[in-house]
Amino acid sequence: MTMIREVVKLCGLSKPQIMQKLQFLDGCGVLFEVQEKYLDAEVVMTTDIDSSMFDVVRSTVYNLFENEVYSAESCSLQELAASLLKMSGRKLGVAESLTCGLVCAMLAEVSGISENLYEGIVCYNKGSKMSRLGVGKDTLSAHGAISRETAYEMVRGLNVAPVDIGLSTTGLAGPKGDEGKPVGLTYIGVGSGDFILTFEKKFEGTRDEIRHAAANVALFYLIRYLKGDIWRL
């Protein structure tokens, strides 16, 4: 019987979390191998069972991870984001606080991204958020730099022609909490015009792990936005 091998790319879960979900499929005749770094994971499914039976397993896997799947190919987050930007013909602006340029650095690994990456602003300080992006002083006073409201206004500040889509990150990488908020708390904003969405995440690990996880998840949300299915998250 012919061996079947397929790949599913996920973002947002650790390897133990993925393996725990896959326990549901123990004994199905499919071998699952999981590689994960900074919440970006590749699940390889290998089997020699009948293709029609495998179709059922594949469908189950996609249902189990419907909020984390971003590709069925061995491509990176930045490669897929760049490809989708190119296909849409849109220009992206990025505003980064805790990730401090990691998102833009990842995108810059992709040849030709200059056609679609218009600018990246590292607005680490509150003053920069206000002067560079127009984040309101009242917003920062009332909600803090680490908030949905600030992430939203960072995206809104990016959305000036020719930028079509804005992406923002603001959070706390540690080692200590701030503004009465815990280490790892992060807000990511993405959108354009009146359609700007914000997401709250709580990352764990070292300062470096938190920052890289935040960058990966930010690109994941950009991908889902470009695909038009971000409303499912």
Q: How many helices (H) and strands (E) does the chain have?
A: 8, 9
CA atoms 224, 218, 127, 148: torsion sign: positive
Q: Which residues contact 53 (CB under 8 A, 6 or more apart)?
A: 29
Residue that the structure tokens 């970006």 belong to: 40
Model-wide pTM > 0.85: yes
> For residue 233, is pLDDT > 80?
no
- 38 φ, ψ (degrees, to nearest 5): 55, 40
Condensed to tens digits (0 to 9), the pLDDT of residues 89-103 reads: 999 999 999 999 999
Amino acid at 56: V
Residue 205 reports pLDDT greater than 90: yes
Cα angle value 171/226/42 (rounded, 5°): 70
> Distance between CA atoms of 82 and 158, rounded to whole angstroms?
18
Residue 173 is predicted with a pLDDT of 95
pLDDT, mean of residues 68-95: 96
Q: Supply the pLDDT for residue 1.
A: 60
177, pLDDT greater than 80? no
